[in-house]
Amino acid sequence: MTIRHAAAAALFGGLLLAGGADSATLRFADQGDAISMDPHSLNETLQLNITGNIYEPLVGRGKKLELTPLLATSWKQTAPTLWRFNLRKGVRFHDGSPFTADDVIFSYERAKSDGSDVKTYVGPIREIRKIDDATIDVVTAEPFPILPDTINSWYMMSRAWSEKNNATTPVDVRKGKENAATLKANGTGPFMLKAREPGVKTVLVNNPAYWEKVESNVTEAVFTPIKNDATRVAALITGEIDMMEPVPLQDVEKLRTNGDLVILQGPELRTIFLGMDQSRDELLFSSVKGKNPFKDKRVRQAFYQAIDIDAIRARIMRGASTPTNLMVAPGIRGFSSDLNKRLPYDPAAAKKLMVEAGYPDGFEVGMNCPNDRYVNDSLICQAIAAMLAKIDVKVNLTAETKVTYFPKILSRNTSFYLLGWTPSSYDSHNALFALVMSPGANGQGQFNLGSYGNKRIDALGPQIASELDEVKRNAMIAEAFKLHSDEVGHLPLHQQALAWAMRKNVTLVQLPDNNNWLKWVVVK
């Protein structure tokens, strides 16, 4: 290349830069990584958030969590168990192929097949009928008035692409399997997957052919998992990244004083709780042999009352949590503040319950905990281990990254675990269906990992789903929560608060379900 050519190239490059004033790169970080790019392989917020920029559901959520038409333009309940969805016309997948009713039917079959972790979203659907390329009828097994509220995390995939790439079923991350959809993606969303290096970085670029003009001016978004809290904070302060979450709670005050940064805090709809294996006749990880101590309500209640939730709130969460007795947060339909009264923290009473249950010397139990999923998750587990030591329960704590944690507990290879849950439909039925009802068909109890069971709650579930009268429905939800709470089916802890931090040239929308949609991110 001659000097003149080089000069011309440099000039041209400069022009390009000048011309691209409205394009921007967003570098954002989280404490963990999305485990897979397959939108059906793991039902976890971060994973569904990252892949939800690439793939889209029929019905999405707006900035106030209101229902928003995405791949469906309108929907109507035409009979008690029948819904008509009109699909958006002219939408193309990133590989250029058109989106049609066949892809919806394919995505339905894929989402309910073995290996899928999102069965719970399509569980109520019995069949999808194609009327024409842009119209479908959805048949539900029971009348299901909240169907459109429950499908915003069920993403549409291309039949042709999946068949070509041999990825027609999601692979079970719980078994550590991979297929083409784990690393590649072909959706209809506003962003396309450019590069994926698991655990290192994921690069998305904007989709110029997207069906709608988006607010975002982000042309490239680089996602990096940074597990270490101090490293993540340092990366933001030094400008290595533009946005990150969660902000370690101990650093919130410090970062507020930094003029280059903006801290967004808000309540989150996620409830953090502990679950116990109540189905096996002998716990997998315990010193008690021949019986399962968690089958005894007195033991569960002793655990509950041994946990000093106010100390956890004050010391570990630094005030940024709301202790709870319910499995759902305020703001979720069906939440009842009357029922949200915790049993008192009382180690003496807890110890007495343990003695009554026949464990005066306590016992040993293995506990599983993630260390990069929820706010201060492993610290909470450590603190609870110390609290349970006071009723002579020796907790053998395994705190590990969610990449190994979720496969382990989702295969129910645990005796005692910590989990967080946001009902994706913002309705109590989702929490009851996934967390509280006995494991069954169509995703029922899919995340009831300790297999708690109560026949009355199991009977109430379908009635709640199909009840149209709000008052009757809420009464049934309250009855179910009361039964669950009286039996100490789980040990609810708290709702954590969201804390995001970004450089002040970044504007975005913080949703209480902890989703950060790139289509609303603007970098000035």
Partner 1 sequence: MIDPVAAADPDRSAGARLTAAWASDVAYSFRRNPVAMASTIVLAICLAASFFAPWVAPHNPFDLKTLSLQDALTPPAWEQGGSAHFLLGTDDQGRDVLSAIMFGARISLLVGLASVAFAMLLGVTLGLVAGYAGGKVDAVIMRIADVQLSFPAILIALLIDGVARAVLPRDAQTGVALAVLILAIGLANWVQYARTVRGSTMVEKTKEYVQAARVIGITPLQIMRRHLLPNVMGPVLVLATLNIATAIITEATLSFLGVGVPPTQPSLGTLIRVGNDFLFSGEWWITIFPGAALVIMVLAINLVGDWLRDALNPKLR
Q: How far is the CB of 384 from partner 1 (least distance, A)?
A: 9
Q: Look up residue 23 and give its amino acid.
A: S
Segments in 194-342 forming alpha helices (H):
229-237, 252-256, 297-306, 309-311
Q: Choose which of 389, 459, 463, 504 interacts with partner 1 (CB under 8 A).
A: 389
Q: How far is the CB of 33 from partner 1 (least distance, A)?
A: 16
- What SS3 state is found at 393? coil
With CB under 8 A as the contact rule, which of the stretches 33-41, 93-101, 193-201, 249-257 interacts with partner 1?
249-257
Residue 446 binds partner 1, judged by CB under 8 A: no
Residue 386 binds partner 1, judged by CB under 8 A: yes
Residue 385 binds partner 1, judged by CB under 8 A: yes
Structure tokens belonging to residue 65: 């969590």
Instruction: Give Dmax over CA atoms of the chain in angstroms.
Output: 90
Residue 390 binds partner 1, judged by CB under 8 A: yes
With CB under 8 A as the contact rule, which of the stretches 120-128, 185-193, 223-231, 458-466 interacts with partner 1?
223-231
Total length of the chain: 524
Window 153-172: residues binding partner 1 (CB under 8 A) = none
Q: How far is the CB of 494 from partner 1 (least distance, A)?
A: 14
Q: How far is the CB of 503 from partner 1 (least distance, A)?
A: 17
Residue 200 binds partner 1, judged by CB under 8 A: no
Measured N-to-C along each axis, helices 470-486 and 455-466 cross at an angle, to the nearest 10 degrees, of 160
Q: Choose which of 254, 291, 472, 504 interacts with partner 1 (CB under 8 A).
A: 254
Q: Look up residue 289 and give its amino acid.
A: K
Residue 256 binds partner 1, judged by CB under 8 A: no
Exposure string (b/e) for 137-176, b if CB count within 10 Å is 16 or more?
bbebbebbebbbbbbbbbbbbbbbbbeeeebbbbbbbbee
CA distance 448 to 89: 39
Output the CA torsion sign for 429, 430, 431, 433: positive
Strand order in the sheet with 82-87: 72-79, 82-87, 135-140, 125-132
With CB under 8 A as the contact rule, which of the stretches 5-13, 50-58, 297-305, 385-393 interacts with partner 1?
385-393
Q: How far is the CB of 312 from partner 1 (least distance, A)?
A: 7
Please check whether residue 271 is in contact with residue 410, taking contact to mean a CB–CB distance below 8 angstroms. no
Judged by beta carbon, residue 238 or residue 337, the one nearer partner 1 is 238
Q: Choose which of 59, 151, 320, 387 interacts with partner 1 (CB under 8 A).
A: 387
With CB under 8 A as the contact rule, which of the stretches 27-35, 168-176, 244-252, 461-469 interacts with partner 1?
244-252
CA distance 65 to 511: 7
Residues near partner 1 (CB under 8 A), total? 27
Residue 131 binds partner 1, judged by CB under 8 A: no
Judged by beta carbon, residue 167 or residue 395, the one nearer partner 1 is 395
Q: How far is the CB of 397 from partner 1 (least distance, A)?
A: 8
Strands 24-30, 59-61: pairing is unpaired
- What SS3 state is found at 100? coil
Output the CA torsion sign for 25, 28, 33, 34: negative
With CB under 8 A as the contact rule, which of the stretches 60-68, 178-186, 391-399, 420-428 interacts with partner 1?
391-399
Judged by beta carbon, residue 134 or residue 233, the one nearer partner 1 is 233
Q: Choose which of 178, 229, 240, 364 interacts with partner 1 (CB under 8 A).
A: 229
Identify the H or E element spanning 106: helix 101-111
Query: E strands along 277-379, which residues?
Result: 321-323, 364-370
Window 300-329: residues binding partner 1 (CB under 8 A) = 308, 311-312, 315-316
Output the CA torsion sign for 237, 238, 242, 248: negative
Tell the residue number behind the tokens 């509950």, with chain if given: 304
Q: How far is the CB of 370 from partner 1 (least distance, A)?
A: 15
Window 393-422: residues binding partner 1 (CB under 8 A) = 395, 397, 399
The region, left, alpha or beta by phi > 0 then psi within -120 to 50, assigned to residue 150 is alpha
Judged by beta carbon, residue 233 or residue 477, the one nearer partner 1 is 233
269, 262, 203, 295: which is closest to 420 by C-alpha? 269
Measured N-to-C along each axis, helices 377-389 and 297-306 cross at an angle, to the nearest 10 degrees, of 110
x/- track of binding to partner 1 for residues 327-366 (CB under 8 A): ----------------------------------------
Residues that bind partner 1 (CB under 8 A): 228-230, 233-234, 248, 250-251, 253-255, 308, 311-312, 315-316, 379, 382-383, 385-387, 389-390, 395, 397, 399
